[in-house]
Structure formats: structure tokens, C-alpha cells
């Protein structure tokens, strides 16, 4: 990280951006529910507006849970991938 950047400022900005994303995701879910209700009323999975088209698709994901298969099957067929994850948490008593 650049030595001229204040870490607390970076973390504050990160937290602020994260809160904005959370609020936007909530708005998006509200819009999806409204569109879904409209689709249900019309009995369709595709609607066309003046500027946008919305299609609803049903997706299926298949997965295997480690606790539901014998260990030798899991160890032979499981795929492992590693990646970095970052978890930002506000310290107690910190400013808002």
C-alpha cells in the first residue's frame, strides 16, 4: 500500500462503499420482486418495456456436500481452489 495513504481513511472508504452496495442490493431485490409479480400476473417469463427486456430463467446448480458422501469419494473427487478473501469489521467504540 502507498505510504502516503492513511489506512483508516482507506478502511472508512471501503466500509462506506460496502454500505452503499448493501443498500443498492436491497433496492435491486425490491425491483426484481415487482417485476416477478408483474410476470406472474401476465403468466409470462419475458416482458418487454419501451427500453428494456427482462427474461426470467430457472437455473439448477448441482453440488456435493462433504458430510453426505464417504470420505474416500470426497478425497478422490473433490476439487480444491484457493483464493484470498477480505473481511472488514468495525472495531468496537470506533467512530461512524
Structural domains in the chain (count): 1
In terms of residue numbers, what domain contains 7? 1-50
**Three-state SS across 21-36?**
HHHHHHHHHHHHHHHH
**Does residue 24 lie in a domain region?**
yes
Query: Which helix (DSSP H) or strand (DSSP E) does residue 77 occupy?
Result: helix 71-77
Question: Greater confidence, 4 or 22?
Answer: 22
Q: Is residue 83 part of a domain?
A: no
Cα(33)–Cα(39) distance, rounded to whole angstroms?
10
Closest Cα partner for 57 from 65, 66, 45, 47?
45
Closest CA to 66 of 84, 53, 79: 79
Whether 19 is covered by a domain: the verdict is: yes
Q: For residue 72, what pLDDT is reported?
A: 94
pLDDT tens per residue, range 22-67: 999 999 999 999 999 999 999 999 998 889 999 998 889 888 889 9
Amino acid at each position: 500500500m502507498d505510504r502516503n495513504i492513511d489506512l483508516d481513511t482507506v478502511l472508512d472508504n471501503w466500509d462506506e462503499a460496502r454500505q452503499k452496495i448493501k443498500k443498492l442490493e436491497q433496492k435491486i431485490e425490491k425491483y426484481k420482486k415487482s417485476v416477478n409479480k408483474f410476470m406472474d400476473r401476465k403468466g409470462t417469463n419475458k416482458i418487454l418495456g419501451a427500453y428494456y427486456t427482462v427474461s426470467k430463467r430457472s437455473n439448477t446448480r448441482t453440488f456435493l456436500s462433504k458430510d453426505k458422501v464417504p470420505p474416500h469419494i470426497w478425497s478422490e473427487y473433490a476439487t480444491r481452489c484457493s483464493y484470498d478473501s477480505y473481511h472488514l469489521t468495525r472495531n468496537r467504540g470506533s467512530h461512524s
